[in-house]
Structure 1
Amino acid sequence: MKIKFKFTLAISIILIAFSLILNILIRQVLVYNMENSISRSMEDIMKSSREYVKYRLMVNDKLSDDDILKNDASYISKYISLNYESNSKVMDMQGNILNNDDSNESMGGESKLIANAKKGEAVVKIKYIKDNVQGDMVFPVYINSRYLGIIYLNKSYSDILVTYKNTINTITIIQIIILVIILATSFLITAKITKPVSDLTNAVKKVGEGIYDINIRVNSKDEVGILSMEFINMKEKICNQINTIKNEKEKVEKLEKARRDFFNNVTHELKTPLTAISGYAELLLEGIVTDSDFKNRALERIYSESERLHSLVLELIDISKGISFIEEDVEDIDMKLLISEICDDMSIKAKKYSLEIEQKVSKGTIPGRINKIRELLINILDNAIKYSVGSSPILIKTYIKENFYIIEVVNKGELIPGEVYNNIFQPFTKGSDVREDSRGLGLYICSEIVRMHNGKISIENGEIITANIELPLSGNNLETSL
């Protein structure tokens, strides 16, 4: 059962119980007032009747008091009945009925009342008969210091009972209406109060099911509102942790794939020259080949493949240095001076390809490791030279933007294939139309050097190839172990 129904049920039980108790108390108060009203009415009749009997005694002063009561009993009875809309009987002190019209009527039901009247007591009895209420009263006639007789009254108070019932019905209806209004209001208020709790419960269930794309509106600053805010913070932290775990998992998977590819490529690159060296060496050792020209070619091939293997080993060492960086002093590097020196050196190679290097270099100083920055720029320019098409000059320009020293190396080339471009900074990535023997490690080393200096590197693909390098002028985290 939902909490709002529990609250509503509890409030309903309390209100219904309170309404019933209140209704019973009101009924008792009204009955008490009604009976008091009946008693007062009959007391008034008693007083008036006594006065009338005294009046009759004064008018008929020739007769004794006892004789007057006997002679005027019927008249007194009719007077009381007509004036007070009641039934009455006049009796002597022994309880004998004196008015002739009712002389044969039994008074058995009022015997107890008459017995009290004989003792000089006035007694009122209220009795309920079906849809009517009647008042019985018996009182002695006490005049001139002596009891002359007893008068019995019976009067119907149905009009008072009707008023009482109408009042009770009205009060009950009002109570029911008020109860319904209170219950409806309490239900709405309870629903409003418990809605955040219900929303929070549903949200907890969804989070338990792994659904985190949920929103909770917090419109209050009470305990429920604070709990909702804490839940939202907890959910966001869980989301962030899960996203972090997913990202780390993807990174691990990517690194694992890169590791497998790296070692597969290394194995392949090492196996190729070793196979050639081993094959030619085996031929020479076994003396199968006697041709001196072939022997010379074999020796030259063994030498060239050895050099190739040596270069590959050196590049692998460089990669190892890039991954686990050997400490080098950090210094302020004059980038304009360094780039000018490198361009002058690389111009010699560019001329072999009928190319020129143009410079538009601005002043700038960055903190860094000069040998690594030099290696970075040489690799970028070397790629621009090797992959340029035609005789268009290679442009290197620099400028400062938002606390970064920006280096752009632009050359005209051919569109880089998508498969190569998407993995261009991965080790052993190379195209099929290179001018020189390449193992696809240069740009990978460049990316590692840039990352060491907290910079960014990217390649813009197209007929015009642009290498973009961003190196921060300040805030380098060069002590980070990579």
Structure 2
Amino acid sequence: MKIKYKITVGILSILIVLGIVMNLSIASILKRDMESNIMNSLEEIMKSTRESIKYRLTIDTEIDKKKLLLQESEYLSNYILLNYESNIEIIGVNGEVYVSNIENQVDNIESLYLRAVDGEVVVNLKYTDNGLKGFITYLIFINKESLGVLHLEKSFDDIYKQYSNTITFIGLIVIIVFLFILTLSYLVASKVTYPISLLINGIKEVGKGNYNTVISYSGNDEMSIVSKEFNNMNNKIQIQIDTIKNEKEKVETLEKSRKQFFDNVTHEIKTPLTAIMGYAEIIKDNIVNDEEFKKKSIERIYEESERLNLLVLDLIKISKGISTVDENKIEIALDEVINQICDDMQIKASKYGIKINRNITPGKIYGRINKIRELFINIADNAIKYSSSSNIIYINTKVEERYYCIDIINYGEKIPDNIYNSIFDPFVKDNIYKYDESRGLGLYLCSEIIKDHNGEITISNGEEIIVNIKIPCFGNNLETIV
């Protein structure tokens, strides 16, 4: 939470507490004064009505006072109602109700009667939903002779309404004052925290790498000094960043090429070695007596040795940081490359009793010849390694629309889901197979080669595993292919 909000919330909390305490205190004081005034008013009514009753009962001295009270009770009820706007109930000393103009039954009248007979003046207040009523019960006596009990009720709704309006008005005044104080506090807090907000925003920008951020804050206080030092720090950091960036750019291209080279060097070298070892084994074991085939094998061994020699030289140069590898794209007769690779890989497949059945359609693409060779050797090698339920691998090609399409089909165990779902990610391999020398880079490098040639590669999983490759054909718009 921002500091200005914390300050505002703190002041708001204090104001709320003070407001509650103040309202409760004012309400308590006003209520106490109101109740005191009502009780005094009831006592004044009691004194006046006592005098009126005493006067009325002493007019005729011949009649018994108790009987006279019964006779005059109706008059007294009307008189008190008219002059004091109060309802009364007069009860004789024998408990008989002489007169009553009170609408509802009086609560605890027996208890009030007994207390009054004992000489106690009972004063009570009762709050209703919309107002306040006052009750007073006292003994009627003349010359120390008890004549009866008078219970008087008077409505003070107008006083209670005035009290409620006063409390509401005070509450509104308090709310207005508090809102004013809160708004003023927020504005003051915002002004105080404004330079801090500038500094925080500046730090965030620096965190994002924007070292050109400048804090514009003028003044003679501490925050002004901090702002100037922050700007100076940014300038020094920017100078250092520029220096480091210049140095980094000198080695960035070399380092990137070196990393890419070492990531796939094992697959690059494996490509010519596969052909060399296959043809050399045939010659060594004298498996084929055809002199033409032996001549062709020697030529292939020489060609692949030359390629291997160039790869080793590139590796040496890269390790010394004196060269980079960037093969140019050329026109490639893809059917010739695939047929040559099938010939080379058939040597390895024969060791496992596997035959490569091919149906190759002529077609040309524009690409990097060594990368294309590496792509198909990797796919064919995987098909040989993971074939288990059939001794035939099918390689079929066709030209479809603007793509040269290749299907490599082998039969074996279904690829586990955890491997299949990320099969084109680097360093993904299944340990259940015996080829532990694999680093799990083959299919990753194949997908990168396909991307470099604007093509597509997919694998259908199951006992029949189909690798489908699509590469744009040569002869279309070359600018979109390169």
**With structure 2 as the length reference, what TM-score do the two structures score?**
0.46
**With structure 1 as the length reference, what TM-score do the two structures score?**
0.46
